Chain A
């Protein structure tokens, strides 16, 4: 059965070679983090932090109500709900770690064609999420866990930007 690989066209072989590799340890780190997460708490904190630290990201939320200052952003229920939605979206990547690119193809098109989100913003939100998780996990957020979490987010960010043209 192995010898059939010799008959695969080069493009197909390269596609497999380009897939992201996850060790068993990395997989369990990611599933553990998300398995013990309060999606509403972390999601709302990450998104509101992003809007406060990088205020230009507010451009995508003009219809969400009062974003006038940090306090308003932190207590805005639309932002909280959306932060939760974003985190549940990340869940799909957690459940499909070997195929994040395909899993997010539609979401990527959505963010490009309909939402018109500059893909640079994905990284900003990812950084804020990392900060929120770091604050939450305390000493459990070791350098190795940070590295794995950031690798995961980098793959997600790349997949979300994939369908832009």
Chain B
């Protein structure tokens, strides 16, 4: 399900509206994922605290959104644009790719929550496709 020009335009338009709040979105989405899908905490056993508002969660949420922003800027060639991140996820982090869907869902819940008028069904489908393609690019080097 590759991104059409219409999808890319919709993603960029949505990003333009939400990017100022990127840090807050990332922190909120990450803390929700850790709470709603507790099995995801297994990747963060080195953190003293996985609760909403904690320093490691805020810091990591910001990092994740940095990656999302990078993906938006490289939307025409995600595999090439996210190569370094793909290698990181494949060889170092080895996050089971099923988890990308869980984070994507939480990201979209937060966007809907914070920007209800902008996260229309049309924006939602473009965003969902985009995040699925980002996940694909991130797992590119897995095997």
Contacts and interface: CB of A to CB of B under 8 A. Distances in A.
Interface of A: 48-49, 52-53, 70, 73-74, 127, 130-132, 134-139, 141, 143-144, 146-147, 150
Contact of B36 (A49, A135, A143): A143
A137 B110 CA distance: 11
B17 to A, nearest CB: 14
Contacts of A48: 121
B119 interface: yes
24 contacts: A53-B125, A53-B128, A70-B122, A73-B121, A74-B121, A127-B105, A131-B108, A131-B112, A131-B119, A134-B110, A134-B113, A135-B112, A135-B113, A135-B119, A137-B113, A138-B113, A138-B116, A141-B109, A143-B31, A143-B35, A143-B36, A146-B36, A146-B109, A150-B36
Interface in B104-139: 105, 108-110, 112-113, 116, 119, 121-122, 124-125, 128
Please classify the interface of chain A as helix (H, G, I), strand (E, B), loop, or mixed, using the class held by over half of its residues. helix
B52 interface: yes
Please classify the interface of chain B as helix (H, G, I), strand (E, B), loop, or mixed, using the class held by over half of its residues. helix
Interface bin, chain B: 10 to 19
Nearest to B115: A135
A130 B32 CA distance: 13
A143 B113 CA distance: 11
